[in-house]
Structure formats: C-alpha cells, structure tokens
Amino acid sequence: MRQTSEPIFNIPPVVVGTIAVLALIHAVRVWLLPPEMEREFILLFAFIPVRYDPALANVVGLPHSTGAEIWSFVTYALIHADIWHLGLNVVWLLPFGSALARRFGPARFLGFMAVTAAAGAAAHLAAHFGEVYPMVGASAAISGAMAAAMRFAFQHGGPLTSWHTQDEDSYRIPAVSLLGSLRDPRFLAFVAVWFGINAIFGLGGLQLDNGQSVAWEAHIGGFVAGALLFSLFDPVSHDRYQGVSH
C-alpha cells in the first residue's frame, strides 16, 4: 500500500459541487424569490406528507402534481429551512460525504445520496401520513452516508485508523459485512450515540431554536438504508474480500 500523505480535508469535487448547489438553491429561494413564488417552490419541491392523501390535499389547498409526488422524495433534500440548518448539514456532509465520494466516485455517490434521501422521506411519510408540514433538508441522505462510511472506515488501514498516512488506498479497504459491522464495538458505539441523539429529539419532543421539529424518523430511515444498501453501490471488487481478516 502506498504511504503518501493525503490531507484529511482534501474534499472531492462532487462534494464541493453538492455543497455549492445546496448553497445556491438556498440563496435563490431566500434572497431572490418573492414570497408567493417561494411558497410555490416549497409546495412543489418540499416533501409534504399530506400530498399523498388526495382528500386532505384538496382540503388544505395543496396543488395536485403527479410529478411532485415523485420528485419530492429527493428534491426536499436540496432545500434548507435557514442558514443554520444548511451549515449544520454541510458540517456533517464534509467528513462522511467526502469519505464515501472517494470510495464510490461521483455517479455512485450521487445515486446513493438520492436513494437514502428517498428512504428517509418514505420513513417520514409512514410516521406522519397526512401531515401538512413540509419536510426539508439533506439530513436523511447524510445519515445514510454516515452509516455507509462506517462499513469501511474502521477497517485496518481505513481512513479512521490511518490519520497520518491517508491516501486513496485507505478508502478502498474491503468493507466488512453488515453482520460483521454489528460485531464491531466501535461501530456499535457510533450507532448507539447516533440513535441516542435522534431519540432525544424524537421521544423528548425537542425542537430547534426556530421552533421547527427535527425529522428524526427520516434520519433513521436514511441511516438504515445506508447501512443496508451500501454493498449494492460499493465498487470495491468482492475478490478483495477473500483472505481479509476482520
């Protein structure tokens, strides 16, 4: 394995581009769209559970759009409530998204983020069917990236075990199986802390400073999908799993 140094915060272009798109969408929505157009933008692209109950959608005046019923499973992740919401997601996206992008490459990374965003929306819909409040934010997709990164980051020679000698090879370490991950105390500790934080917000009914609730069911949906679907997106050859001790 090559031992050339790799800066920890060398951000892959696809992650930089993702952050730029999120920032641009937020800037346009907040600073350029007049109030009525901003409202229409939210109604079309945010994830709104009541949209999937035709009777209630008509009562609350939500415009019917078959397209929005499909694309909002992903487009909601591109919208953020305010600059703090956006900034917090960027902070989490930088380490976990970067690790995953280095392993997956741009196309697989974007596809994976879209799928985990959709999984988060599905979990939110199951828990809040008929609710009129829109859900926005990339947290579910980022939760999926967290779960996926944990499948290889703790491996011997992986990015979390070789801080001083990181190179591309550290992101190509063969991943342990999901069952193997569940036997790793470090993975379990990470999962316990992550689920604990979401449980505090969910079961405790805590809210953000702006009065909005945390969509913790979506976070869990994205996390579970990320852990389960990682292997379907992982480009590392399965041949490399042979002879690897976990």
pLDDT in the model for residue 212: 57
Q: Which residues contact 70 (CB under 8 A, 6 or more apart)?
A: none
pLDDT in the model for residue 202: 57
pLDDT in the model for residue 208: 46
pLDDT in the model for residue 41: 93
User: Which region holds residue 65: left if phi is over 0, alpha if psi is between -120 and 50, else beta?
Assistant: beta
Residue with tokens 């005046």: 61
pLDDT in the model for residue 225: 97
pLDDT in the model for residue 195: 81
pLDDT in the model for residue 240: 47
**Domains, the chain, ordered by start:** 13-241 (1.20.1540.10)
pLDDT in the model for residue 63: 62
pLDDT averages per 10-residue partition of the chain, 246 residues: 50 97 97 93 93 73 75 96 93 94 96 98 94 92 94 73 60 83 85 80 49 78 95 76 39
